[in-house]
Structure 1
Amino acid sequence: MTHELWILVLAAVLGIVQVGLPPIAAMSRKGYAQWNAGPRDTPFDTGPMAGRLNRAFSNFMETFAFFAVIVIALAFAGKSSDLSMWGARLYLAGRVAYIPLYAFAVTGVRSLAWIISLIGILLCLYTLFT
């Protein structure tokens, strides 16, 4: 398995972890456990931290599909290279950094983490077409 595919697996694990972060952050809110155990017919104010973690996960999902398709295409095409390896690493590093930066409302730097992950995707895409 290529290095990029391993990074893809790690990115999937990161996504699984991110699914659980908003509920963990919301558990400290009074009444959340009862609401979560019920039918959830009405919205519940999970608080700002859980909301930011949920939005960070949504942002991850917006980029993950593109990254996954490109990495799988690289593997099928047999085009793994140092550039695509670094691209995959940049993608994962940017996504990992994005979570706490968004959760703790660090503006500016959060966008930089997103840009780093996008550069990683673009490096992999460039490798695919060269």
Structure 2
Amino acid sequence: MTADLWALVAAMLLAVVQLTLSSVLTLRQLGGAWVAGPRDESREVTGLSGRFVRAHRNLLEIFPQFVAALFLVHAAHAAGSLSTIGAWLFVIARLLYVPAYAFGPVGLRPICWLAAQVGIFVIVADLFV
């Protein structure tokens, strides 16, 4: 398996860890009855728990772009060093995004988000070299 696909595995593991953390924090804040129930009434977690939940949602918003970029370069048989660099840039930036969102100073989170987005562009750049 190629290094960029290993980065995809790492990103998937990050998503699972974030989902687990978000679920536990939601359960602790909103209670088991709401979490296990039909959730007819909308409720949001707040504070630090809310930041972890929103960081996970943000990963879910950008993850399809990451997967699509890797799919494109592999389908075109163009995967090379740029897709590897871009994929790992994405993973590292998304890994740093979580504590940046939860604890970081203002301005750090958007930098991590931008670095992950740049990683996707670097992956796609392998199509043009």
- Would you call these one fold, judging by a TM-score over 0.5? yes
SS in 2 for 1:41: coil
Question: Structure 1, residues 53-101: CA drift from partner, whole Å, max 9, x if none?
Answer: 2211221122111110111121222222222211111000000000111
Q: For residues 107 and 23 of structure 2, what CA distance do their matches in structure 1 show?
A: 26
Give the share of equivalent positions with the same residue, in percent: 34
- Secondary structure of 2:39 counterpart: coil
Residue number in structure 2 paired with 1:7: 7
In structure 2, give the amino acid aligned to 1:99.
Answer: V
Gaps of 5+ in 1: none
For residues 106 and 33 of structure 1, the distance between their equivalents in structure 2, rounded to whole angstroms, comes to 32
CA contact (8 A) 1:23 1:50 kept: no
Deviation at 1:105, TM superposition (A): 5.0
Letter in 2 for 1:106: P
Give runs of ≥4 in structure 1 deviating > 6 Å. none
The residue that corresponds to 1:23 in the other structure is: 23
Q: Residue type of the partner of 1:112?
A: I
Number of residue pairs matched by the alignment: 129
Change over 3 Å in CA distance of 1:22–1:77 after alignment to 2: same
TM-score normalized with structure 1 length? 0.86
Change (3 A) 1:116 1:45: closer
Cα deviation per residue 1:24-45 (whole Å; 9 max; x = unaligned)?
223443x612322333222345
Other-structure match for 2:46: 47
CA contact (8 A) 2:101 2:109 kept: yes
| C-alpha RMSD over aligned residues | 1.8
